[in-house]
């Protein structure tokens, strides 16, 4: 715990005010499929084409990502069913394959399950990683992009969903 509880509290409040896109990151290890809701996702570079994903070390998916498993970033749309998917993939009591019962998933997609109606799905290989605090920052080199239907983006802001 931080020695500066007021700093931690104020930082948490400030981050609630930062609107962030909602994504579901998925990966596969053998027959095991894992996924998590992630708002700490951003583009990194056009050369190589890459993105960053920040993963809490307590996340179920953390181990296979840090071991180098390929993964997918599924960009969610501003729709009630995608809000439900986000909720399931962030729920601490729903784990592993159970999470994929919500939504229309291509479970055989390369790199990890692909949400069929995602705004986009980015296939990544781990290009680098950095442990920092409670998280690991993973640089994913993007090897394929599948564009989905045009839709507004699902955003999380101030403890609730919004659109952008």
pLDDT in tens, 112-144: 999 999 999 999 999 999 999 999 999 999 999
Q: How far apart are CA 141 and CA 153, in angstroms?
A: 23
**Residue 27: per-residue pLDDT:** 98
The answer to whether residues 74 and 42 touch, using CB atoms and an 8 Å cutoff, is no
Alpha helices in 67-107 (DSSP H): 80-90
**Residue 3: per-residue pLDDT:** 63
Strands (E), 107-164: 114-115, 120-132, 135-147, 154-157, 160-163
Which two three-digit tokens encode residue 81?
């069913």
* CB-based contacts of 136, cutoff 8 Å, min separation 6: 54, 55, 57, 62, 65, 66, 129, 130
Q: Say how many C-beta atoms besides its own lie within 10 A of residue 26's C-beta.
A: 27
User: pLDDT tens, 32-91?
Assistant: 999 999 999 999 999 999 999 999 999 999 999 999 999 999 999 999 999 999 999 999
Domains of the chain: 5-154 (2.30.110.10)
């Amino acid at each position: 715990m931080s020695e500066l509880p007021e700093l931690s509290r104020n930082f948490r409040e400030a981050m609630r005010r930062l609107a962030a896109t909602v994504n579901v990151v998925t990966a596969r290890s053998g027959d095991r499929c894992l996924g998590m809701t992630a708002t700490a996702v951003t583009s990194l570079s056009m050369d190589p084409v890459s993105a960053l994903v920040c993963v809490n070390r307590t996340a179920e998916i953390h181990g296979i990502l840090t071991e180098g498993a390929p993964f997918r970033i599924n960009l969610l749309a501003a729709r009630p069913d995608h809000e439900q998917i986000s909720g399931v993939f962030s729920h601490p009591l729903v784990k592993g394959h159970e999470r994929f019962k919500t939504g229309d998933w291509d479970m055989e997609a390369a790199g990890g399950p692909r949400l069929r109606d995602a705004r986009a799905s980015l296939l990544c290989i781990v290009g680098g990683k950095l442990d920092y605090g409670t998280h690991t920052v993973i640089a994913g080199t993007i090897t394929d992009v599948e564009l989905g239907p045009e839709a507004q983006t699902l955003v999380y802001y101030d403890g609730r969903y919004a659109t952008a």
